[in-house]
Amino acid sequence: MHTSVALLLELGVILAVLSVLGTLARRFALSPIPLYLLAGLSLGEGGIAPVPAAGEFVQIGASIGVVLLLLALGLEFSITEFTASLRRHVPSAAVDLVLNAVPGAVAGWLLGLDAVGVLALAGATYISSSGIIARLLGDLRRLGNRETPAVLSVLVLEDFAMAAYLPLLAVLASGGTWWQAALGVLVAVGAVLAAFIASYRWGHHLGRLLSHPDSEQLMLRVLGMTLIVAALAEFVHVSAAIGAFLVGLALTGEIADRARAVLTPLRDLFAAAFFLAIGLSVSPEELLPLLPAAFALAAVTAVTKLVTGRYAASRDGVGRRGRLRAGTALIARGEFSIVIIGLLGAQYDKLGPLVAAYVFVLAVAGPLITRLTGAPPSRAPLRERADATG
């Protein structure tokens, strides 16, 4: 088997650079996410040190990374408690949609886009980054905080909304009819509901199926099942992250604890690839001219996400500082916004760089704002949420 020297060298350099950046971030008690994003920008096309041989590997690793991030997040909660939280936060989802989709729609209208372009930009400003936020909550030790279930409920309800939105946008962008779009939406929403009901009613059987005393076997079983479910989710135009999250929710007790232990190193490795890939997807030459417009749109939608998070946390009776933490946690945009633009045709080629610049600004600024506002990170055990600060 022939091994590419360039691939090995570039991956080795990338991992060494990420190690240095991660160490630097930890020294200042910051999340390494912004530094990983900036590293991706410098290594991408037009950057100071492009990595053409490693680019495809990083993109594949990024897809696995977001799946593992959401699986690990699901392992922290039970399906019963999370279902109750989802029901309580349906009004939060409505507030989230109105506050965060409208600025994108208005911006699209001001730019003279047609209905499909306006719909695409509205979606790009609406959806937060589940991958970035999942890692951020872990980095800042906030998975056990009282506001975290509200944040996760908003994220999952956004992903549910994407199950209807993405098929609709894909059909309309390709020139399809409204009835074809409606059919795609029905199939996707039906698949999400079926998966959630199955996880709620029969998820405990999954734990018995995957359980094994050998750690290697446990890792292979859990990871294999997660990737299969994620692939099925993508097949019906639902987020792979939702599939992974549901698998995590279905696993409880000892198997959840052991799964976290064996999967954490893999999660961290592929999560780094995920953040790196976001930076690689942005060209510095296209980014710089659009930064003023991106900053303006980012400023507006950072405030609207802050309001969304505060409202959602208030429904759980969280205190003032906790509401602020919830709001800042939702600011980051990422993978979904880029996917949305990827569904559009060549006639929207000017919209792609704007959204890329917008995503990059909030992907970097969101974690920094989250860390620098609110109370210091909680050091309470993850499952002792009742004792966490409000």
Q: Which DSSP string do the residues of 74-134 spell out, in sequence order?
A: HTTS-HHHHHHHHHHTHHHHHHHHHHHHHHHHHHHHHTT--HHHHHHHHHHHH---HHHHH
Which tokens sit at 218?
Answer: 């446990």
pLDDT of residue 378: 44
pLDDT of residue 377: 44
Whether this prediction's pTM lies above 0.85 is answered by no
Q: What is the distance between the alpha carbons of residues 121 and 365, in angstroms, rounded to a whole number?
A: 20
Q: Which domains does the chain show, CATH number per domain? A: 19-49+56-383 (1.20.1530.20)
pLDDT of residue 389: 40
pLDDT of residue 338: 78
pLDDT of residue 191: 73
Amino acid at 154: V
pLDDT of residue 372: 84
Please give the average pLDDT of every successive group of 10 residues along the chain, which has 390 residues: 78 90 83 86 76 85 89 80 82 95 94 90 92 87 89 88 81 76 75 73 78 92 92 78 82 87 91 86 80 93 96 93 94 84 73 86 90 58 41
pLDDT of residue 19: 92
